[in-house]
A and B are shown apart, each in its own frame.
Chain A
Amino acid sequence: MEKGKEPQRKEVEKIGAVMVVGGGVGGMQASLDLANSGFKVYLVEESSAIGGRMAQLDKTFPTNDCSMCTISPKLVETGRHLNIQLMMDSEVMKVDGQAGNFSVTVRHKPRYIDISKCTGCSECAQVCPIITTSRFDEGMAQQRAAYKLYPQAVPNAYAIEKLGIAPCRDACPAGQRAQGYIALIREGRYDDAMRVIKEDNPFPGICGRICNHRCEEACNRNLVDQPLSIASLKRFVADRVYAQPYLPADPLPYKFEEKVAIIGAGPCGLTAAKDLRKFGYPVTIFEALPLAGGMLRVGIPDYRLPPQVVDREVREIIDLGIDLRLNTPVINLDEVMDEGFKSVLIAVGAHEGRKLPIPGANLPEVLINTQFLRDVNLSNMGIESGNGKPHPKSVVQNRHVLVLGGGNVAMDCARTAVRLGAAKVEMACLESREKMPASIEEIHEAEEEGIAVHPSRSFKRILDKDGHVAGVEAVKVTFMEFDGEGRLNLQTEEGSEHILPCEVVIFAIGQRAGLAFIPESAGVGVTRMSTIAVNPNTYAATRPGVFAAGDATTGTAYVIEAVAAGHKAAASMHRYLRGEEMEPAPRPELPVVKMVKEEVQERVAKGEVNVTPRVKMAASPAGHRVSSFTEVSLGYTEEEAKAEASRCLACGICSECLSCYYKCGLNAINHDMVETQEEVNVGSVILAPGYEVYNARLSQEYGLGRYPNVLNALQFERILSASGPTLGHVQRPSDKKVPKKIAFLQCVGSRDQNHPYCSAVCCMYATKEAIIAREHEKEVEPTIFFIDIRAYGKGFDAYYERAKKEYGVRYVRCAISRVVENPRTKNLLITYLDEAGEIREEEFDLVVLSVGMVPSASTKELAKNIGIELDAHGFAKTDSLTPLATSRRGVYVCGVFQGPKDIPETVAQASGAAAAASEILSEVRGTMVARKEYPAQKEVKEEEPRIGVFVCHCGNNIGGVVNVPAVKEYAASLGAVVFADENLYTCSQDTQEKIKKAIEEHKLNRVIVASCTPRTHEPLFQETIREAGLNRYLFEMANIRDQCSWVHMHEKEVATSKARDLVRMAVANARLIRPLEELTKGVIKRGLVIGGGLSGMTAALGLADQGFEAVLVEKEAELGGNLRHLKTTLDGKDVSRYLEELTARVTHHPRIQVFTNAVITDFSGYVGNYKTSLMVGPRMFSRDVEHGVTIVATGGEELKPKEYFYGQDKRVLTQLEMEAFLHGDGRKIQELKEVVMIQCVGSRNEERPYCSRVCCAEAVKNALTLKSLNPKARVTILYRDMRMYGTLEEDYARARKAGIRFLRYEEERQPEVTPKDGRLEVTFYNPVLRENLTLRPDLLVLSAATIPADTAELASMLKVPRTADGFFLEAHMKLRPVDFSSEGLFLCGIAHSPKTIEESLSQASAAVARACTVLAKDQIQISGVVSVVDPDKCAACLTCVRVCPYNVPVINKEGVAEIEAAMCHGCGICASECPGKAIKLQHFTDEQVMAKCDVIIEVLSDVFKGERV
Chain B
Amino acid sequence: MEDFEPIVIAFCCHYCAYTAADLAGTMRLQYPSNVRIIRLPCTGKVDVRHLLEAFEKGADGVYVAGCMEGDCHFLKGNFRAKKRVAWAKKILEEVGIGGDRLEMYNMSAAMGPRFAEVAREMTEKIRKLGPNPAKKAERKAHSAERKENDRPVQSAERAAHSAKV
Contacts and interface: CB of A to CB of B under 8 A. Distances in A.
Given A63-B70, A66-B68, A1047-B31, A1500 B116 contact: no
A36 interface: no
A1497 interface: yes
B109 A72 contact: yes
Contact of A1039 (B22, B58, B67): B22
B154 A68 contact: no
B25 A722 contact: no
Interface string A949-970: 0000000000000010010011
A1490 B158 CA distance: 24
B91 interface: no
B111 A722 contact: yes
A839 interface: no
A963 B110 contact: no
Interface in B1-17: 4-5, 7, 9, 14-16
Contacts of B4: 1504
Contact of A723 (B27, B28, B33): B27
Interface residues of A, number: 83
A77 B44 CA distance: 24
Contacts of A1056: 165
B162 A1508 contact: yes
Contact of A69 (B19, B46, B84): B19
A42 B29 CA distance: 38
Contact of B112 (A722, A1055, A1065, A1445): A722
B41 A970 contact: no
Interface in A1476-1509: 1481, 1484, 1486, 1489-1498, 1500-1501, 1503-1504, 1507-1509
Contact of A1445 (B38, B58, B77): B77
B74 A1472 contact: no
Contact of B75 (A1041, A1071, A1445, A1509): A1445
Contacts of A1481: 41, 45
B90 interface: no
B36 interface: yes
B150 A974 contact: yes
B50 interface: yes
Contacts of B139: 1501
A291 interface: no
A987 interface: no
Interface string B79-104: 01000100000000000000000000
B53 interface: yes
Interface stretch (A912-920, A1200-1208, A1462-1470): A1462-1470
A311 interface: no
A1445 B45 contact: no
Contacts of A1054: 33
Given A1042-B21, A1061-B36, A1496-B59, A973 B158 contact: yes
Contacts of B42: 1467-1469
A374 B58 CA distance: 85
B37 interface: yes
A539 to B, nearest CB: 51
Given A66-B71, A1467-B45, A1468-B45, A1047 B25 contact: yes
Contacts of B162: 1507-1509
A727 B9 CA distance: 26
A974 B153 contact: yes
Contacts of A970: 152, 158, 161
A157 to B, nearest CB: 15
A144 to B, nearest CB: 15
Contacts of A1498: 143, 146
Interface in A720-747: 721-723, 727-728
Contacts of B71: 63, 65-66, 69
Given A970-B152, A1445-B75, A1496-B36, A151 B26 contact: yes
Contact of B41 (A151, A1057, A1067, A1484): A1484
A1472 B116 contact: no
- Among A72, A1051, A1496, chain B packs the most CB atoms within 10 A around the CB of A1496
Contacts of B53: 1490, 1493
A934 B42 CA distance: 31
A1467 B38 contact: no
A1064 B77 contact: no
B57 A69 contact: no
A1042 B22 contact: yes
A72 B19 CA distance: 10
A1425 B37 CA distance: 20
B152 A973 contact: yes
A1472 B47 CA distance: 5
A1061 B34 CA distance: 12
B113 A1472 contact: no
Contact of A975 (B23, B74, B112, B151): B151
Contacts of A1050: 30
B129 interface: no
A722 B18 contact: no
B44 A1497 contact: no
Given A1048-B33, A1490-B53, A1484 B40 contact: yes
Nearest to B15: A69
A1022 interface: no
A500 interface: no
A1493 B38 contact: yes
Contacts of A1047: 24-25, 28-31, 116
A1424 to B, nearest CB: 12
B45 A1469 contact: yes
A1051 B44 contact: no
A1467 B41 contact: yes
A1471 interface: yes
A1053 B67 CA distance: 32
B42 to A, nearest CB: 4
Contacts of B116: 1047
A1226 to B, nearest CB: 54
A1053 B109 contact: no
B45 to A, nearest CB: 3
A1043 B33 contact: no
Nearest to B49: A1486
Interface in A38-53: none
- Among B4, B54, B75, B157, chain A packs the most CB atoms within 10 A around the CB of B75
A1129 interface: no
A344 B101 CA distance: 82
Given A1061-B36, A1467-B45, A1495-B150, 15 more contacts: A69-B71, A72-B109, A722-B108, A1015-B18, A1042-B22, A1042-B26, A1046-B25, A1053-B165, A1468-B40, A1472-B80, A1484-B40, A1491-B150, A1496-B59, A1501-B58, A1504-B4
17 contacts: A64-B68, A722-B112, A722-B114, A973-B161, A974-B151, A974-B153, A976-B149, A1042-B22, A1047-B28, A1071-B149, A1425-B41, A1445-B77, A1468-B41, A1473-B80, A1493-B57, A1494-B57, A1494-B147
